[in-house]
Amino acid sequence: NLNNGMSNRANAICPGVRTIGKVSEWFDTSCFMMPAPYQIGNSGLDKAVSPGYVDSDISLSKTANIHEQMSLRVQIDAFNAFNHAYLGHPNTTCCSDTNALFGVITSANGPPRNLQMGVHLAF
């Protein structure tokens, strides 16, 4: 829209942007509009917030003495233990009349649940 090869910001027409929280519409896209040609948009950074990322890793281990100088340790680790789907960032290319994916989340962040087990024999 600036016609100089640079990206532009949208015009924010709402005092605050409401987070809707659906994958098909993460934030209220009606709060943004394309600025007039050759004009810089007035919206600042962080008007729309992406989904959060909280990871839960769990590790359990048990050590057993076999005799005086020998022990066996068994350990299991769970990464993303609760197997939460972590959503990617919403599409922020304005606006809904020119980009049907504006405000839509189309990707995931982070790995699925991963389990690993280990055995350590010390002698």
pLDDT at 122 over 90: yes
Res 52: pLDDT: 84
Res 13: pLDDT: 86
Amino acid at 119: V
What pTM value is reported for the model?
Answer: 0.66
Pairing of strands 114-122, 19-22: unpaired
d(CA 75, CA 60): 6
Tens digits of per-residue pLDDT, 46-75? 778 888 888 899 999 999 999 889 999 999
d(CA 113, CA 56): 10
Which residue is associated with the tokens 């680790």? 77
Res 115: pLDDT: 96
Joined tokens for residue 35: 């600025």
pLDDT class of 99 with cuts at 50, 70, 90:
confident
pLDDT at 96 over 60: no
Q: Which residue has the higher pLDDT, 83 or 74?
A: 74
Mean pLDDT of 18-37: 86
